[in-house]
Copies of this chain bind each other. A is one copy, B any other.
Amino acid sequence: MLQTIALNQPFPIARAPVRTSAYPRLVPDARSAVACASCSLQGICLAAGLSSKELARFDQLAMHKRKVNRGAALYRNGDTFETLYALRSGAFKSVGISREGNEKITGFHLPGEMLGLEAISPGRHAYDAVALEDSEVCVIPFAELEALAASMPALQRQLFRALSSDISRDQGLMLLLGSMSAEQRLAAFLLSLSRRYQRLGFSANRFVLRMTRDELGNYLGITLETVSRLMSRFQREGLVSVRQREIELNDIERLMALVGHW
């Protein structure tokens, strides 16, 4: 049975341990509901806006769940694309790998988000999706989803929305990578995480990073040392409180000012 954690408090406050595995997993819905109808992410995932009758049919399709352990891949670069995934609990990173072995992280994924959308067109995955902690996804066969969408306008629309918002998200990151200083990038990242956790029902100003400094820097296009220095500086200046991966945002206003209202 899954451990219950209180909302608005995604990590224990007193003397919390540091290692990732020591933090409670990111589980928006403590009850391990199997049906979409009783899933806490219903309003966020593809199922949003479906009538109860439609939801039942969609449920059929997304019935199959899959657990992915920390460090394991949901899919890998080169795999043929057959299914989309909806993240139920846990967290993932998307990683591109060059022939030289350089890794580049293009995204972090929280519960309620779809994985695999970028592979529809080429028909193959171009990235690895690696679990940052023990996670669970709903498996959604794409061919059947397509067929269902054709007869269910609300679902078709949700799919378009999901794809479109992936594009928006990426363009936001492009702004970040292409025109912000290291300081602005980190501030923007913390603010964006804050919003995402809030949407999931967690606190907007206290959360636990799911990734290492190395992964974070990789994603932001800066080195892990720079991330570390900036965290320290933000703390010195009273913007945040940092204890390893536990983050508390103390002055969201000033963080936004740093980013400069992009």
Q: A residues engaging B (CB < 8 A)?
A: 94, 96, 98-100, 102, 104, 106-107, 117-122, 126-127, 146-147, 149-151, 153, 156-157, 159-168, 170-171, 173-175, 177-179, 218-221, 260-262
30 contacts between A and B (CB under 8 A): A94-B171, A98-B261, A100-B260, A100-B261, A102-B179, A104-B174, A106-B171, A106-B175, A117-B163, A117-B164, A117-B167, A118-B164, A118-B167, A119-B164, A121-B161, A121-B162, A121-B165, A121-B168, A122-B164, A122-B165, A126-B171, A150-B153, A163-B163, A163-B164, A174-B177, A177-B177, A177-B221, A178-B218, A178-B221, A179-B218
Most buried by B among A107, A153, A165, A170: A170
Chain B residues with Cβ below 8 Å from A150 are 149-151, 153, 156
Minimum C-beta distance from A144 to chain B (A)? 13
Pairwise interchain contact A126-B177, C-beta atoms closer than 8 A: no
Pairwise interchain contact A175-B260, C-beta atoms closer than 8 A: no
Checking B156, B218, B260 against A146 with a beta-carbon cut-off of 8 angstroms, the contacting residue is B156
Pairwise interchain contact B98-A262, C-beta atoms closer than 8 A: yes
Q: A104-B262, A121-B161 are in contact. List 8 more A-B contacts (CB 8 A).
A: A99-B261, A100-B260, A100-B261, A117-B164, A120-B161, A121-B162, A150-B150, A150-B153
Roughly how many angstroms separate A255 CA and B15 CA in the complex, as a whole number? 52
Roughly how many angstroms separate A261 CA and B157 CA in the complex, as a whole number? 37
Minimum C-beta distance from A107 to chain B (A)? 8
**Copies of this chain in its oligomeric complex:** 2
Minimum CB distance partner of A105 in chain B: B178
Given the contacts A146-B157, A146-B160, A221 and B170 also touching, CB distance less than 8 Å: no
Minimum CB distance partner of A161 in chain B: B121
The 3 closest A-B pairs by CB, nearest first: A178-B221, A120-B164, A163-B163
Minimum CB distance partner of A175 in chain B: B104
Chain B residues with Cβ below 8 Å from A159 are 160
Roughly how many angstroms separate A175 CA and B157 CA in the complex, as a whole number? 29
Chain B residues with Cβ below 8 Å from A178 are 104, 106, 177, 218-221
Pairwise interchain contact A174-B262, C-beta atoms closer than 8 A: no
Minimum C-beta distance from A49 to chain B (A)? 13
Chain B residues with Cβ below 8 Å from A260 are 98-100, 102
Most buried by B among A94, A120, A121, A218: A121
Minimum C-beta distance from A66 to chain B (A)? 22
Pairwise interchain contact A121-B179, C-beta atoms closer than 8 A: no
Roughly how many angstroms separate A48 CA and B156 CA in the complex, as a whole number? 20
